[in-house]
Structure 1
Amino acid sequence: MRLELLQDYDETAHARARPIYEISDKGLDGRDDLPAPLRALARANGFSGEAGVVLAHEEGVLLGVGDGSDPFILAAAAEKLPEGDYRLAPTPASDLAWRAGFAWLLGSYRFDRYRKQKPAAARLIAPRGLDVAAVRREVGAVGYIRDLVNTPAADMTPSALEAEARALAKAHGAKIETIIGEALLERNFPLIHAVGRAAAEAPRLVDLVWGREDAPRITLIGKGVCFDSGGLDLKSASNMLLMKKDMGGAAHALGLARMIMESGLDVRLRVLIPAVENAVSGSAYRPGDILNSRKGLTVEIGNTDAEGRLVLADALALAGEEEDPPALLVTLATLTGAARVALGPELAPYYANDEALAAELMEAGRAVADPLWRMPLWPGYDSMLASTVADVSNVGNGSFAGSITAALFLKRFAPAGVPWAHFDIYAWRPKAAPGRPVGGEAQAVRALLRVIADRTGGNAEGA
């Protein structure tokens, strides 16, 4: 992502830049600030302020914002305008300026790792007073998450995901340890080992720690299934097409960690990523197997395609073993198709065992235009995970409430008394919108950053 396409305010550059006028679907009435050539251009093209429509002229640019419901509509201008310098007219208020800068850089995103030609792009001269560095931090993390999710599984293997975590740790002076292969059994991570043992690359647990020891403890756990074939309960070809994104939880944990570290929040951050590939071979774990877990609970495997909750379970157990437990524990995972059936691809469902935390997350999502929706940890469905031969089954005993039962499975491994939120994200956009192309997408991390900053006395701005 070319973050330099949002430039700090410069009086000379700002004066020379072409102005962008945002026009609602009410039309040009009352817009006395528009130059006559732009009014003529609008009439000639039947321009009515329809969202995403861009008309450019030497005197300036008309951008249709429709009814104003899309907070990132300015991204349409960044996507469509030719190379050059632009500014907003009139200068927006500070909160709107933040969203404008954020949207502009979203519109500059391209996943171009595999393209030889890099297209030219437009640059926005920021309005006076906008904290450009802060905007770049958040958008940079969004682009980082998108890049990780968009990378094909051949290039985003468990070792490659570990390398990304190591690069992030090195950049911010964090400590990092990785437990790989048979060492997982020696160190008592049997579920992570079982899920990943059939793959060509060994499974591993990445453990990153940053910040002063006596700061408030924040632990993030991201599902790092770098490709999910479904295991012996093999997915269909169509359902396997997007399974490069099954490490989206890990990408989100790393992206959120990047924002926390770049913002300098005073926290003791820990990031746990079980990185595996759920593959098929003679050593694959099987339906009907009974596996031990780090917590000591035995798990009957009802379906090998419900593997994400298994690797998260061992990581959750580890997170609960610290003498000084975390002040906040978050799991991020592309866990169930049932979550998509319930809320679709754009609304990130979350579960929380703490009412105050649940309310803070919802409010933060609204404040930074990072939409979330709370789902219930309904205890009445816990019995769906019953097994006649083990302590728990990894899948519910019916076709109902798949996302809820997955969250209830994780709850059994989460440490008691610790505020915990679980996000069953999609990490993908199937339909393009301004600044949000088809492909990997960051969900909930900006809302989480706001909550973490508020809970730890930090300062995190947001779109």
Structure 2
Amino acid sequence: MITWQLITTLSQAKPQSHLIACSSCSHLPDTALIAEMREQQTVADTRFSCTPFSRITLLPEALWHDALTGGLLAALRPLFVAPVSREVVLDVTNIHDTVLAQVLLFLFNQAHSLSDLQLKKTDETAVRLCHITALCRPEQQASLETFFRQQQAIAQGMVAARRLADLPSDRCTPQFMVEEAQKLCVAFPALHCEVLDERQIVAQGLGLLHAVGKGATCPPRLLAIHYNGVPDGPVRCYVGKGITFDTGGLWLKEGAGMYTMKYDMCGAANVLGLMLSVAELGLPVRIMGVLALAENAIGPDAMQPGTVATACNGTTVEINNTDAEGRLVLADAIAWASKRHPQASYIIDMATLTGAVVKALGYELSGLMTQDEPLRHALTQAGQKSGDEVWSLPLDARLKKQTDSAIADLCNTPTNNAAISASAAWLLHHFCPPTIPWAHLDISGTALWRENGRSVASGRPIPLLMEHLLGDSA
């Protein structure tokens, strides 16, 4: 875990730290080097004549207030590809709150890298960030203490989710995810795990989850994580898609389309990470997180196009596309959660559901679909505050024809190949009773961080959901 502290003068900083500051910071020493660096109109970076620091980086003031484009993060990322110090000193005397949240989450997330999976020979002597020192004004200390503690806890949940998601799918099976979640949750007395195996899934009528998972040698699981930060009161529910690998089933994907499909369980991993962050902060709420876990495989028992399966709420679904499996496992999990907690405050699901949302919104925004206006507003505001933003897509009865089926109550994909993301959400809304506010987050674009042609898990939308929870439980 990366540690942190607050200081009010640079003289309190540890020697040989990497100093990162705004070029206009008034706490910087009055030296010829700093004066020269301040004259730069872009990033000014040096490792020479920096004593007592090992490296000094000054960045333009505009970046410290750029909450929209992430300019400061873009400038910082190259600096941490190969850090020169285990300690960083960050100037937070004059920085936008949203930018600070983004930067802190980036720095705390340095606790995980692909090398930690120990699947590749790496340089054991490589420098890793271990400590963050924040330079602030005395009057900022009280509020920053709380803020840093919250961001550290959020990052811990993100790191747990990212470590699971980055694992190869031959290791990260449904049962493996259950066992890892149980190991992580045991550290928190307020967390309790409940598991349904393949037989219990059938016995409790989760026919959609069963249909998706029955073709794999690794059987499906439903994992419910219960958090009781208070003894009673309404329960907030989160549901995550956990397809540990997605071949597309008999609607087989092409090879290039399968390459990142180990990440099709990011929704479920992020529900787990969210629960761990909540428990770390000890929030005074009750929460249930539901992970719908399955592998969508091909084989003699794989679901076939045209199959009609029945969800645990009795709704029948014609499976006309086996590669639209995520909405099936989500639908069953949403219905199951609503039966467990019919008076739930809300149900929010998250999933790497459709490539269409990436075409619509790109890689920076998660798609938000809901018919509950207060929940839409609260999530949108939380996204803006955290920097983990959402954008609303329409969800109303005009989409009804997209899920019509001649043989079942619903079909899982529209035959006209239109409004794919919103049509998936329209299908899902049938599985949450109208008495419970519900929202769907399509995180296909945001669940991964893409750079230099490679993808790794990002941990989003945990910052968004934690910001929403912090505001909701205040």
TM-score with structure 1 length normalisation? 0.87
For residues 235-246 of structure 1, what are the structure 2 equivalents within 5 Å? 235-246=253-264
- Other-structure match for 1:172: 188
Q: How big is the shift at 1:424?
A: 0.6
Contact 2:111 2:159 in 1 (8 A): no
Equivalent position amino acid for 2:2 in 1: L
Q: Distance in 1 between matches of 2:284 and 2:37?
A: 52
Q: Which runs of 5+ in 1 are unaligned?
A: 458-463
Deviates more, 1:61-70 or 1:388-397: 61-70
- Other-structure match for 1:397: 415
For residues 152-301 of structure 1, what are the structure 2 equivalents within 5 Å? 152-173=168-189, 174-211=191-228, 212-301=230-319
- Other-structure match for 2:57: 62
1:277-335 deviation line (CA, Å, top 9, x unaligned): 00011011100111111111111111000111111111111122136521021101111
Q: How big is the shift at 1:387?
A: 0.7
Matched, 1:407 2:425: yes
- Other-structure match for 2:363: 345
Q: What SS is found at the alignment partner of 1:271?
A: strand
Q: Distance in 1 between matches of 2:440 and 2:374?
A: 15
* Alpha-carbon distance change, 31 to 266 in structure 1, aligned in 2, over 3 angstroms: closer
- Other-structure match for 1:461: none
Contact 2:309 2:319 in 1 (8 A): yes
Contact 1:141 1:255 in 2 (8 A): yes
Contact 1:75 1:107 in 2 (8 A): no
Q: What SS is found at the alignment partner of 1:320?
A: helix
Contact 1:180 1:204 in 2 (8 A): yes
- Other-structure match for 1:142: 158
Q: What SS is found at the alignment partner of 1:341?
A: helix
TM-score with structure 2 length normalisation? 0.86
Q: Distance in 2 between matches of 1:401 and 1:440?
A: 26
- Other-structure match for 1:428: 448
Q: How big is the shift at 1:97?
A: 5.7
CA RMSD of aligned residues (A): 2.8
Q: What SS is found at the alignment partner of 1:172?
A: coil
- Other-structure match for 1:445: 462
- Other-structure match for 2:135: 127
* Alpha-carbon distance change, 86 to 183 in structure 1, aligned in 2, over 3 angstroms: closer
Matched, 1:49 2:42: yes
Contact 2:371 2:396 in 1 (8 A): no
Q: What SS is found at the alignment partner of 1:325?
A: coil
1:102-156 deviation line (CA, Å, top 9, x unaligned): 3433456422212443421344323352324333212222222222221110111
Q: Which runs of 5+ in 2 are unaligned?
A: none
- Other-structure match for 2:108: 105
For residues 331-342 of structure 1, what are the structure 2 equivalents within 5 Å? 331-342=349-360
Contact 2:112 2:163 in 1 (8 A): no
Q: What SS is found at the alignment partner of 2:288?
A: strand
Q: Distance in 2 between matches of 1:89 and 1:189?
A: 52
* Alpha-carbon distance change, 22 to 323 in structure 1, aligned in 2, over 3 angstroms: closer
Number of aligned positions between the proteins: 444
Q: Distance in 1 between matches of 2:112 and 2:62?
A: 25
Contact 1:208 1:270 in 2 (8 A): yes
- Other-structure match for 1:83: 85
* Alpha-carbon distance change, 180 to 103 in structure 1, aligned in 2, over 3 angstroms: closer
Contact 2:212 2:328 in 1 (8 A): yes
Equivalent position amino acid for 1:250 in 2: A
Contact 2:86 2:127 in 1 (8 A): no
- Other-structure match for 1:460: none
Contact 1:346 1:429 in 2 (8 A): no
* Alpha-carbon distance change, 402 to 10 in structure 1, aligned in 2, over 3 angstroms: same
Q: Distance in 2 between matches of 1:63 and 1:77?
A: 12
Q: Distance in 2 between matches of 1:84 and 1:316?
A: 44
Q: Distance in 2 between matches of 1:421 and 1:267?
A: 19
- Other-structure match for 2:123: 117
Q: What SS is found at the alignment partner of 1:373?
A: strand
